[in-house]
Structure 1
Amino acid sequence: MSVRYLIAWFGMMGLAIANGALRDVGYRARMGDRAAHQISTVILLLLFGGYFWGLFTAWPLVSVRQAWEVGTLWLVMTLVFEFGFGHWVAGQSWRQLLGAYRLHKGQLWPLIPLWVWIGPYCFFR
């Protein structure tokens, strides 16, 4: 697998940070925390979709295996960053971090790591 896909992950993090900043300064105060996070999640899914399209148009994946390798790499990097930064830098508890994964309580965040994982395969197909 090419190192360019590893580096491309940092572009996704830039999109995620910009999207979160827009949510926090733009519309969270008017909508409330849960609604803002839900909207922000949908926006990030769309941003990642556009990013994947551009990335895989410029650097096409060559096989199903490579698509799953890229997706798995990105998933691991995303989860390590999310839990590592969230716990040791932002000071969130493990309970808080895992709370973002409660789909049954309206948390849509689990769709992001899922899309990061399957997105390369979907765009390869």
Structure 2
Amino acid sequence: MMLIRATIVWLVILVFAVLNGILREAVLFPAVGRVPGFITSGIILGLIIFVVAYLTLPWIDAAGSNQLLLIGFLWLMLTLAFEFSFGLARGVSLDEILSAYSFKEGNIWPLVLLLTLFAPMLAAKVRTRR
């Protein structure tokens, strides 16, 4: 049940990520340029992932750090599977997809992925300090 709930939460994160991408392309890039737009968008998405993890952890009901890491790993794998399959389905070349993982033009996507992996654990740590 925990992994099903974690997958549902990832779908929520996915919706926010798509909206963030729309914001980046439609507002941030025209307003501030590509480099600041990528950085701002990455920070926004990272915060969204953390907040969603923080708010949904009680519902997911993970027991301990191993399960929290498992959830983060699940989210990371689902994200990568989505990114590659959606990109390839849209006709984006593999080279272009992989370029997002190079910090090119300020794209902090690799850091967002790292946060995705550790967000459940970090959110749990913040929750226990309250």
Using the size of structure 2 for normalisation, the TM-score is 0.86
Q: Name the residue aligned to 2:109.
A: 109
Shift of 1:59: 3.6
- Please give the per-residue CA displacement for 1:20-49, whole angstroms capped at 9, x wherever unaligned: 112222231122223211110111111111
Q: Name the residue aligned to 1:41.
A: 42
Q: Name the residue aligned to 2:62.
A: 61
Give the count of matched residue pairs: 124
Q: Name the residue aligned to 2:128.
A: none
Rounded Cα–Cα distance in structure 2 between residues aligned with 1:105 and 1:68: 30
Contact kept, 8 Å, 1:63 with 1:124, in 2: the verdict is no
1:82-93 aligned within 5 A: 82-87=83-88, 89-93=89-93
Contact kept, 8 Å, 1:9 with 1:74, in 2: the verdict is yes
Q: CA-atom RMSD, angstroms?
A: 1.7
Rounded Cα–Cα distance in structure 1 between residues aligned with 2:104 and 2:85: 25
Contact kept, 8 Å, 2:38 with 2:105, in 1: the verdict is no
Rounded Cα–Cα distance in structure 1 between residues aligned with 2:22 and 2:65: 35
Q: Name the residue aligned to 1:100.
A: 100
Shift of 1:107: 2.5
Shift of 1:94: 1.1
Residue ranges of structure 2 left out of the alignment (5+ in a row) = 126-130
**Deviation >4 Å, runs of 4+:** none
Contact kept, 8 Å, 1:61 with 1:124, in 2: the verdict is no
Shift of 1:118: 0.9
Using the size of structure 1 for normalisation, the TM-score is 0.89
Structure 1 residues 80 and 49, CA, compared in 2 at 3 Å: closer, same or farther?
same
Structure 2 counterpart SS, 1:110: helix
Residue ranges of structure 1 left out of the alignment (5+ in a row) = none
